[in-house]
A and B are shown apart, each in its own frame.
Chain A
């Protein structure tokens, strides 16, 4: 019997907010275990990727609570789809296939969320660094906050594909191969999209800064 399915361990670990000890199997091994009836394997996958999904979803939401709730919806959607999708993911044998699959679900949900909210977050002032002691630092911080605001507005003007690639690279810190797998494109295409995004962002930031009469970068 799988030791994590034991009722005694559920008594120890099953209460709210406490996760069982992490398992060391690979993502595809866990997916295969889930298909054999080990439901705890899915929980391990969710715990393993929750932070990456949250980091990615933060960009698409107005606040951290929305990002957290959206992350939970990813798990619900993933559990529904797992019996259909895991056999294919396991058969590929690619280690990052499960993570890319989770990210695909997250991005689709995020896009729906943005569409439903009919807005794209353009400012992020609540996440700007805390209040500073000195006036000089405050001035510098305000300029940095303006810069962040400008750049994030410019991100909203990218094409959807460029934006997704850019955010997975910057927020998810993923390699291009994995970004490509998550978005259904080749590694070289993901890389090209990223470079186009950077170029367009630079142009957009210069334009916005010129309109507002201040230095760009």
Chain B
């Protein structure tokens, strides 16, 4: 095993146990032994179980905040969409109905109705009611 291979092999495993072959080489090669010692000194201690637990809890909380769960599934959303469309349709329909019911009849039909009503009145019917605008003048009015 040569020095470059040692470094390549060992640098990725600085905190772990070295193989017997590597151990033998390290006893003979001062440069490699220094490299391994350096890398072991440089490495941070392994992440503790408490750190891992705390990290996982924090991550779940963050994910809940940035990826809020969907409150309803696709069926609910579709139903909501239909309900909204139906409501809008009802509002439009009721508006049109109200507009039509308040509109006065067309002038042609009104005149026809008036004429036909007028034609049915018997001006000579003694029982008919006639409007009298005011009473006829009398002599006493001039006094």
Q: Complex: how many Å from CA A71 to CA B44?
A: 17
Q: Is the CB of A170 within 8 A of B43?
A: yes
Q: Is the CB of B55 within 8 A of A171?
A: no
Return the chain B residue nearest A152 by Cβ: B42
Q: Which of these binds chain B: A6-14, A21-29, A93-101, A104-112?
A: A6-14
B38 within 8 A of partner (CB): yes
Per-position 1/0 for A192-210, Cβ under 8 A of B: 0011001001100100000
Q: Is the CB of A39 within 8 A of B55?
A: no
Q: Is the CB of A194 within 8 A of B41?
A: no
Return the chain B residue nearest A175 by Cβ: B12
Task: Note all chain B residues with C-beta closer than 8 A to A47.
Answer: 56, 59, 63
How many residue pairs, one in A and one in B, have C-beta atoms under 8 Å apart? 118
Chain B: minimal CB distance from A31 (Å):
15
Task: Note all chain B residues with C-beta closer than 8 A to A71.
Answer: 55, 58-59
B39 within 8 A of partner (CB): yes
Per-position 1/0 for B44-56, Cβ under 8 A of A: 1101000110111
Name A's interface SS.
Answer: helix
Return the chain A residue nearest B66 by Cβ: A79
Q: Is the CB of B44 within 8 A of A58?
A: yes
**Of B37, B38, B57, B73, which contacts A17 at CB under 8 A?**
B57
Task: Note all chain B residues with C-beta closer than 8 A to A131.
Answer: none
Return the chain B residue nearest A58 by Cβ: B44
Q: Is the CB of B63 within 8 A of A43?
A: yes
Q: Is the CB of A201 within 8 A of B74?
A: no
Take A72-B62, A217-B37, A217-B38 as given contacts and tell me if A14 and B44 are in contact as well, using a CB distance cutoff of 8 Å.
Answer: no
Name B's interface SS.
Answer: helix
A89 within 8 A of partner (CB): no
A86 within 8 A of partner (CB): no
The contact size tier of chain A is: 35 or more
Take A17-B60, A71-B58 as given contacts and tell me if A51 and B47 are in contact as well, using a CB distance cutoff of 8 Å.
Answer: yes
Q: Is the CB of A68 within 8 A of B44?
A: no
A144 within 8 A of partner (CB): yes
Among residues 11 to 44 in chain B, which have CB atoms less than 8 Å away from a CB atom of chain A?
Answer: 11-14, 33-35, 37-39, 41-44
Task: Note all chain B residues with C-beta closer than 8 A to A7.
Answer: 69-73
Per-position 1/0 for A160-203, Cβ under 8 A of B: 00000010011101010000000000000000001100100110
Take A7-B73, A195-B7, A198-B7 as given contacts and tell me if A166 and B38 are in contact as well, using a CB distance cutoff of 8 Å.
Answer: no
Q: Is the CB of B41 within 8 A of A144?
A: yes
Task: Note all chain B residues with C-beta closer than 8 A to A39.
Answer: 67
Task: Note all chain A residues with C-beta closer than 8 A to B12.
Answer: 169, 173, 175
Chain B: minimal CB distance from A197 (Å):
10
18 A-B contact pairs sorted by A residue (CB < 8 Å)? A1-B74, A7-B71, A16-B61, A16-B64, A18-B60, A42-B67, A51-B47, A51-B55, A58-B47, A68-B54, A71-B59, A75-B62, A79-B67, A147-B41, A150-B41, A166-B42, A175-B12, A194-B11
